[in-house]
Structures are given as C-alpha cells and as structure tokens.
Amino acid sequence: MSEKIYSTDAYARDMTATVLDIDRADQRILLDQTVFYPGGGGQPHDRGALWVGDDRLDVVRVTSDSAGVWHWVETDLPSAGTGVRGEIDWDHRYQLMRTHTAMHALCGVVWERFQSPVTGGNMSPGEGRLDFDLPDWDAEHRFPMEEELNAHLASALAVEVGFLPRDEADADPSLIRTKVSLLPPDLTEVRVIDIVGLDRQADGGTHVHRTDEVGSVEIVKVESKGKGFRRIRLALKD
C-alpha cells in the first residue's frame, strides 16, 4: 500500500519515495508514498513529474486501487526498489483545492436553505458544477445565495480533516451529502472534511485550510435539468 500524503497534508507538493512495483503493460509505477492525488469525488487527478536521478518522468495520469497509488508515465520505467523524487504541478492542484472548498461551501449554503442533497458534481481548476435535487428553486434565489456564499468564504472558516470509524460515520447520515452513499462497503475508516460551522461531509479530496483562501466566487449559472433537478455552476473570481 502507498501512504497517501495528500490525504493528511494537502499542501505537501513534493516527496521522495521508493518504487514498490511497476506495471509494464500500462506504463505505470506504484510508490510507497505519494503527494499525487489519484482523482475522485469530482476532483481530477494531479499532474507533475517524477525524477530518477536527473531523468524526468512526466506523470500523465494517477490512479489508485487496492495495491496503492499508480503513477502513469510515458517513458522507461525504473525497477522496483529505486528511489525517486516527485513533485506535483502546484498551480493546477491549488486551484483545484480552492475550487473544491468553494463547492463544499456551496453544499453548506444550499443545505442550510433547502436541505437538498447533492446528486452529482465535477470540477476543473477554477470552475465547478454541482447537481442538486432542488424542487423549490426560484431564479431570484441566485444572487442572495451568491452573497451568502461569499460572506461565509470571507469569514475565514477553518477547514478541518478528520477520520471516523466506519460505524460512527454510518450512524451520521448527514455526512453523506450525495443522494446515494458512494462509500465502498469494505471501507473501515471514513475521511471527513469539516468547514467548521458550515458543511461537514465524507470526502477524499484536497481542500484549503481556511475558506478565505478561496477568495470570492460567482454563481455563473443555475440550469434546470428536469423535475426538481438543478445544476449550479460556480467559478472562482481570481
């Protein structure tokens, strides 16, 4: 298994590691520890590079499975046991951390007003969309909600990462904001992201430490996608 440094320290951008295994068919490398986020929960995987001595290997894709975190490269693979250095594309990741945090804050605001669950979502650096089961939506809600969202972000709420035993997490249905629980059945510990006082949910992604790092956001568009189904698009303003 790989130690997932990104899971406890989102701000770690480089690491040294040892190659645990390689997969020649897929051109990918399993490392004993990594700062590379493999993607999930709507957040894209990191990109960046590994170095073996002076040789640079561009990481074009990152995935995870029961063996750990795989770094996909397009060049020759080092052998198991080799020491490597790795560094993520920080600008790309940090934009995703700000965007992801903004999306959780939006979940919190929508939950406060409507108690509506999320049905889907996706993001790219600086932009995100969340789908809600939101039958009571009216167009005039948009600007007050944007104002409320920005007020929460500007108030510098702490964003805390915690871990809960599975049975405790299952006993708190509010942690699962998606309409259907996406937690794998064999998961024994659940990672929880708490924007203190606003939103608390099970999540695997990377977020900023305080909401004022997000800056202000714009609710770009609210689309109606059918009965009760609303798609809210937001964007970072800088």
The residue ranges that bind Zn ion (CB under 5 A) are: 41, 203, 205
Closest CB to Zn ion among 13 and 207?
207
**Smallest distance from Zn ion to CB 77, Å:** 32
3-state secondary structure of 28: strand
Strand pairing of 33-34 and 3-4? Answer: parallel
Compute how many other C-beta atoms are within 10 angstroms of the C-beta atom of residue 225.
10
Closest CB to Zn ion among 38 and 41?
41
Closest CB to Zn ion among 84 and 195?
195
Query: CB under 8 Å, gap of 24 or more: what pairs does 139-144 form?
Result: 139/222, 141/113, 142/219, 142/222, 143/219
**Rounded (5°) CA angle 207-211-216:** 110
**Rounded (5°) CA angle 73-50-54:** 115
Closest CB to Zn ion among 81 and 184?
184
**Smallest distance from Zn ion to CB 218, Å:** 19
Spell 187-205 as b/e; 16+ CB within 10 A means b. Answer: eeebbbbbbeebbbbbbbb
**Smallest distance from Zn ion to CB 193, Å:** 7
Closest CB to Zn ion among 108 and 205?
205
Token pair of 179 as six digits: 């309409």
Closest CB to Zn ion among 41 and 78?
41
**Smallest distance from Zn ion to CB 27, Å:** 29
* Residue 223 backbone dihedrals phi, psi, to 5 degrees: -105, 145
**Smallest distance from Zn ion to CB 122, Å:** 11
155 Cβ neighbours under 8 A, 6+ residues apart: 211, 212
**Smallest distance from Zn ion to CB 68, Å:** 22
